[in-house]
Structure 1
Amino acid sequence: MMPLRTLIFTSVMLPWILSSAAKDEYMEARKPKRDIENFPDNGFPQDSDTDQAAPKAYELPTCLLCVCLSGSVYCEDVNPEMSAVPALPKETAYLYARFNKITKIRNKDFADMATLRRIDLSENLIAEIEDGAFSKLPDLEELTLAENRLTKLPTLPTKLVLFNANFNKLKTQGVKATAFKKLTRLAYLYLGNNELTAVPQLPESLRVVHLHDNKISTITDETFCKGNTSHYIRTNMDEVRLDGNPLKLSQHPNSFICLHSLPVGWYN
Structure 2
Amino acid sequence: MWPLWLLASLLALSQALPFEQKGFWDFTLDDGLPMLNDEEASGAETTSGVPDLDSLTPTFSAMCPFGCHCHLRVVQCSDLGQSRARGGMGARRHRPSLSALPRRHVSVLWDGHERALVLVNNKISKIHEKAFSPLRKLQKLYISKNHLVEIPPNLPSSLVELRIHDNRIRKVPKGVFSGLRNMNCIEMGGNPLENSGFEPGAFDGLKLNYLRISEAKLTGIPKDLPETLNELHLDHNKIQAIELEDLLRYSKLYRLGLGHNQIRMIENGSLSFLPTLRELHLDNNKLSRVPSGLPDLKLLQVVYLHTNNITKVGVNDFCPVGFGVKRAYYNGISLFNNPVPYWEVQPATFRCVTDRLAIQFGNYKK
TM-score, scaled relative to structure 2: 0.50
The 1:111/1:231 distance shift into structure 2, 3 A limit, reads closer
The 1:101/1:248 distance shift into structure 2, 3 A limit, reads same
Q: CA deviation at 1:149?
A: 0.7
- 2:333 is equivalent to residue 240 of structure 1: yes
Provide the C-alpha distance between the structure 1 equivalents of 2:199 and 2:153, rounded to a whole number of angstroms: 22
SS at match of 1:143: strand
Retained in 1: the 8 A contact 2:247–2:274? no
- 2:185 is equivalent to residue 88 of structure 1: no
Provide the C-alpha distance between the structure 1 equivalents of 2:308 and 2:255, rounded to a whole number of angstroms: 20
SS at match of 2:186: strand
Q: Deviations over 1:111-138 (max 9, x none)?
A: 41341221111111112345x433xx23
> Where do residues 124-135 of structure 1 align in structure 2 (5 Å cutoff)?
124-130=216-222, 132-134=223-225
SS at match of 2:217: coil
Letter of the structure 2 residue corresponding to residue 192 of structure 1: D
Aligned twin of 2:236: 147
Aligned twin of 1:119: 211
- Give the count of matched residue pairs: 205
Provide the C-alpha distance between the structure 2 equivalents of 1:169 and 1:209, rounded to a whole number of angstroms: 17
Aligned twin of 2:254: 161
The 1:109/1:121 distance shift into structure 2, 3 A limit, reads farther
Q: CA deviation at 1:99?
A: 1.2
The 1:186/1:129 distance shift into structure 2, 3 A limit, reads closer
Letter of the structure 2 residue corresponding to residue 62 of structure 1: P
Q: Which runs of 5+ in 2 are unaligned?
A: 1-124, 127-146
SS at match of 1:128: coil
Retained in 2: the 8 A contact 1:107–1:133? no
Q: Deviations over 1:185-207 (max 9, x none)?
A: 11111110001112122111111
The 1:233/1:267 distance shift into structure 2, 3 A limit, reads farther
Q: CA deviation at 1:244?
A: 0.9
Letter of the structure 1 residue corresponding to residue 331 of structure 2: D
Q: Which runs of 5+ in 1 are unaligned?
A: 1-53
SS at match of 2:343: helix
Letter of the structure 2 residue corresponding to residue 73 of structure 1: L
Retained in 1: the 8 A contact 2:251–2:275? yes
Of stretches 249-258 and 66-75 in structure 1, the one that deviates more from structure 2 is 66-75
Retained in 2: the 8 A contact 1:234–1:259? no
Q: CA deviation at 1:84?
A: 2.3
TM-score, scaled relative to structure 1: 0.67
- 2:360 is equivalent to residue 264 of structure 1: yes
Provide the C-alpha distance between the structure 1 equivalents of 2:253 and 2:279, rounded to a whole number of angstroms: 9
SS at match of 1:247: coil
Aligned twin of 1:215: 309
Provide the C-alpha distance between the structure 2 equivalents of 1:63 and 1:186, rounded to a whole number of angstroms: 34
Provide the C-alpha distance between the structure 2 equivalents of 1:83 and 1:204, rounded to a whole number of angstroms: 38
Retained in 1: the 8 A contact 2:177–2:203? no
CA RMSD of aligned residues (A): 2.9
Q: CA deviation at 1:93?
A: 3.4
Retained in 2: the 8 A contact 1:232–1:258? no
Aligned twin of 1:204: 298
Letter of the structure 1 residue corresponding to residue 255 of structure 2: L
Provide the C-alpha distance between the structure 2 equivalents of 1:109 and 1:95, rounded to a whole number of angstroms: 17
Provide the C-alpha distance between the structure 2 equivalents of 1:247 and 1:159, rounded to a whole number of angstroms: 33
Higher-Rg member (1/2) = 1
Provide the C-alpha distance between the structure 2 equivalents of 1:212 and 1:242, rounded to a whole number of angstroms: 4
Match of 2:271 among 162, 180, 195: 180
Aligned twin of 2:159: 70
Letter of the structure 1 residue corresponding to residue 188 of structure 2: A
Q: CA deviation at 1:161?
A: 0.9
Identity, in percent, stands at 21
Q: CA deviation at 1:89?
A: 4.1
The 1:182/1:127 distance shift into structure 2, 3 A limit, reads closer
